[in-house]
């Protein structure tokens, strides 16, 4: 049986002889051990700890479809081999030839898109509807409702980058990024928020960009096909993509030749793909924003509060609270996350065995709130899986204020105990607490460095939104792509994902990514129409 992604990442780090501070080693061991302990199941899909912590898997029968929506158009290479792939591609109406000398299959189309998430999916729909023959490449697998087991461990492994435990290189920030057909749109927590007008106005005035819409650990996409430009065009012209299949019996590479190539594999993977292909713009891979999030919790015993049920039942995110800065841009927002027992255990700081048992016994009645900031700090991702990031001081202040507000909300809702996920297990009993004691506790809530810092106390943060690492700008100096989404260096190469954002936006970005991709794709469609 193949290793799951969490075990693979530890082996990868070991092979690279990557230096890891002792505190991070302990953290990784704790994370993997507890995550596996509360997510592994027997052949009947049962974990013996679940009864003790009051957790039940949703066993309701899922709606079944007569046909998987993408069945007629998808080729799952995991089921293909060298003897079948040529026929499967031809049956989809593609022009395919075999190049035995270079051990490749040459495939011709109008548009090739790398990535099927919020940006890639929208771009594919727009361009296909305009009459173009479109190929979408996706390294993740394809799942529909009836494919899901509702089990936390297998689902995280199937749907997320690195099985859900990707992180920045200093382990300060846990990275949640979709890695499946549909990408972020497939794992979205039901939060669809319009781009703030103040952000759109800022982009237009400061960055001179248009107003849009008031692995496993090796990449399947090896490089873009670039050739020297002619007749005064851009320095290079993109002719398509060279790709390899993962975990299949297809040994030949796929050389996909196209009129237009779109990178839509997200802010973590678009820059490494462009850099590996030979692009040099200094904005590629930099200006990475992560919308860092910090968590607080409140315990609501069933016999002492008006709320019934458990934290894993009902809607995921049913309301949000926005706090605005002086210029009316989002400073931070407060939302509620969906944390299964394994994820909850991984976030809980280790204080003692007794304390950990107590936390897990209260899991079902513990509500978690997180604060998400529109970060001014930024990072970079120049190589696949190597994410560097640094919080700005103002971001730390916003996180601290958001955590304090989250704690006030939990207390006002009737929590009998509240706390943070700081390394010392910071908490406070609420019954009979005086106002001055509450304020003293809130004043003690701090945002520390990550586990690699030298601080006695430390925090762990999380990100589900990765933005800006291939930003749009009015010139080559300001951005990696122009106002049409096209690379400054390579004609015919476009970007349609969250990496095009000039800044963080401060709210869940799915709608913004989709509307941006819609605008870029329509412009591409108009260009292709004129060229015919």
Find the length of the chain: 532
d(CA 422, CA 439): 18
DSSP state of 451: T
The DSSP call for residue 504 is -
CA 315 vs. chain centroid, Å, equals 20
Between the CA of residue 315 and those of 6, 129, 149, what are the distances in Å?
Answer: 28, 34, 18
Residue among 502, 9, 16 nearest 267 (CA):
502
List strand residue ranges (DSSP E) for 344-503, in order. 366-373, 379-383, 386-389, 417-420, 427-429, 461-463, 490-491, 493-495
Cβ partners under 8 Å of residue 129, min gap 6:
none
List beta partners, residue 324: 330
**CA nearest to 497, candidates 471, 524, 525:** 471
For residue 410, give every residue at least 6 positions away whose Cβ sits within 8 Å of its Cβ, in sequence order, or none: 296, 297, 298, 367, 369, 418
Contact at 8 Å (CB) between 378 and 501? no
Out of 102, 289, 291, 465, pick the active-site residue: 465
Q: Is 495 helix (H, G, I), strand (E, B) or coil?
A: strand
What are the start-end ranges of the E strands in 276-392?
293-299, 321-324, 330-335, 366-373, 379-383, 386-389
Indicate if 465 belongs to the active site.
yes
Strands 417-420 and 386-389: unpaired
287: buried, middle or exposed (CB in 10 Å: 19+, 13-18, 0-12)? Answer: buried
- What is the separation of C-alpha 220 from the centre of its chain, rounded to a whole number of angstroms? 18
Residues identified as active-site: 465
């Amino acid at each position: 049986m193949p290793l799951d992604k969490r075990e693979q990442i530890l082996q990868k780090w070991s092979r690279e002889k990557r230096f890891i501070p002792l505190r991070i080693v302990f953290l990784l061991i704790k994370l993997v051990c507890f995550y596996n302990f509360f997510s592994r199941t027997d052949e009947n899909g049962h974990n013996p700890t679940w009864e003790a912590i009051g957790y039940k898997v949703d066993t309701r029968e899922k709606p079944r479809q007569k046909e998987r929506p993408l069945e007629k158009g998808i080729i799952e290479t995991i089921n293909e081999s060298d003897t079948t792939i040529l026929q499967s591609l031809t049956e989809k109406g593609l022009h395919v030839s075999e190049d035995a000398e270079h051990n490749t299959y040459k495939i011709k189309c109008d548009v090739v898109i790398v990535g099927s998430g919020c940006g890639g999916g929208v771009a594919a729909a727009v361009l296909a509807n305009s009459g173009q023959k479109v190929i979408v490449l996706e390294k993740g697998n394809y799942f529909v409702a009836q494919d899901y087991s509702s089990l936390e461990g297998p689902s995280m492994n199937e749907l997320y980058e690195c099985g859900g435990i990707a992180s920045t290189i200093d382990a300060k920030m846990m990275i949640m990024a979709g890695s499946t057909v549909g990408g972020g749109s497939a794992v979205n927590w039901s939060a669809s928020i319009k781009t703030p007008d103040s952000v759109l106005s800022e982009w237009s005035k400061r960055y001179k960009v248009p107003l849009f819409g008031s692995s496993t650990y090796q990449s399947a996409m090896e490089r873009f096909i670039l050739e020297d430009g002619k007749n005064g065009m851009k320095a290079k012209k993109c002719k398509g993509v060279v790709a390899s299949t993962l975990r299949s019996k297809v040994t030949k590479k796929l050389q996909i030749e196209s009129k237009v190539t779109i990178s839509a594999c997200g802010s973590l993977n678009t820059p490494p793909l462009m850099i590996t292909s030979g692009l040099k713009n200094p904005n590629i891979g930099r200006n990475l924003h992560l919308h860092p999030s910090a968590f607080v919790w409140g315990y609501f015993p069933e016999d002492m509060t008006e709320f019934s049920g458990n934290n894993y039942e009902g809607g995921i995110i049913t309301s949000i609270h926005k706090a605005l800065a002086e210029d009316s841009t989002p400073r931070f927002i407060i939302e509620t996350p969906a944390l299964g027992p394994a994820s909850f255990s991984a976030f809980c700081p280790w204080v003692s065995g007794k304390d950990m048992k107590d936390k897990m016994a209260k899991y079902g009645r513990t509500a978690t709130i997180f604060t998400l900031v529109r970060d001014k700090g930024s990072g970079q991702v120049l190589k696949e899986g190597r994410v560097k990031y640094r919080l700005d001081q103002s971001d730390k202040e916003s996180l601290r204020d958001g955590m304090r507000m989250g704690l006030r909300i939990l207390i006002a809702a009737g929590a009998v105990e509240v706390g943070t996920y700081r390394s010392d297990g910071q908490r406070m009993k609420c019954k009979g607490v005086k106002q001055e004691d509450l304020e003293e506790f809130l004043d003690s809530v701090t945002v520390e460095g990550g586990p690699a810092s030298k601080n006695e106390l430390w925090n762990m943060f999380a990100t589900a939104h990765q933005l800006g690492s291939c930003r749009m700008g009015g010139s080559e100096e300001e951005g990696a792509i122009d106002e049409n989404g096209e690379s400054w260096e390579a004609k015919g190469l476009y970007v349609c994902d969250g990496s095009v954002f000039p800044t963080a936006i401060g709210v869940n970005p799915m709608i913004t990514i989709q509307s941006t991709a819609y605008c870029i794709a329509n412009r591409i469609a108009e260009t292709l129409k004129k060229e015919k």
